[in-house]
Amino acid sequence: MKKYSENGDFLKILEERILKDGQVPEKDVLKVDNFVNQRIDVAFLREVCGEFYNRFKNEKIDKILTIEASGIAIACMAAQYFDCDVVFAKKGEARNMGNDVYTAKVTSFTRNRVYDLSVGRRHISKGDRLLIIDDFLAEGSALSSLCSIAGQAEAEVVGAGILIEKAYMTGGRELREKGLRIESLAMIDRMDEDGIVFRSGN
């Protein structure tokens, strides 16, 4: 398979790729649909996910929990390092699913709407040690809702691995203050029409 990093510096190749292929059509909006969100560079994501393994390899991980659709590819790539299954939360109305699902509401600030997440109860067991994986962290509503679902299942969230964090927004700080371990591979401090500034020393 294609190889992107010469020396395992996964953070560097991710930042370089975001600068090369990411688009900022307006302030604070980053589109990475050319390698993550619609076209998926599988070999690249697989390599970058090695960094999630570097950071969580000392933890026992039973399952990776993510959200459809964009989380699935990243979660599947990460799961190959941890040798575990992926469970993804479905978006949309949790209709006609009765008591068979855990649900939580997510507020999408970019899309200005509220939607339901749902996971079939039988897919998360009590005591499961979960690693949450997602593509973006901004306000933290989706991540918070995944933690809620894990809590409903009496599972344990070992931590969260995020591909790109908008570090100038409040979600990451608030969830870290509540004790959640969050490992974000690219931390963006600022972005606008002039470019993208990454947090140094991440």
Interacting residues with a second copy (CB under 8 A): 1-2, 33-35, 38-43, 46, 63, 68-69, 72-73, 75-77, 79-80, 83-88, 90, 119-120, 122-123
Residue 15 · residue 167 · CB < 8 Å:
no
Residue 159 · residue 182 · CB < 8 Å:
yes
Name the minimum Å distance from CB 172 to a second copy.
Answer: 25
Query: How crowded is residue 115: how many other Cβ atoms within 10 Å of its Cβ?
Result: 16
ω into 69 cis (within 30 of 0): yes
Angle, CA of 170, 171 and 172, to the nearest 5°: 100
Q: Which is nearer to a second copy, 127 or 174 (CB)?
A: 127
| Euclidean distance between CA atoms 173 and 118, whole angstroms | 25
Residue 60 φ/ψ region, left for φ over 0, alpha for ψ in the -120 to 50 degree band, beta for the rest = beta
Name the minimum Å distance from CB 88 to a second copy.
Answer: 6
DSSP state for residue 168 in the 8-state scheme: T
Q: Which is nearer to a second copy, 49 or 187 (CB)?
A: 49
Residue 88 · residue 63 · CB < 8 Å:
no
Name the minimum Å distance from CB 127 to a second copy.
Answer: 16
| Euclidean distance between CA atoms 196 and 18, whole angstroms | 9
Name the minimum Å distance from CB 22 to a second copy.
Answer: 14
Q: Which is nearer to a second copy, 19 or 42 (CB)?
A: 42
Name the minimum Å distance from CB 131 to a second copy.
Answer: 13
Q: Which is nearer to a second copy, 95 or 201 (CB)?
A: 95
Name the minimum Å distance from CB 197 to a second copy.
Answer: 26
Residue 17 · residue 144 · CB < 8 Å:
no
| Euclidean distance between CA atoms 25 and 192, whole angstroms | 8
Q: Which is nearer to a second copy, 86 or 155 (CB)?
A: 86
Q: Which is nearer to a second copy, 40 or 155 (CB)?
A: 40
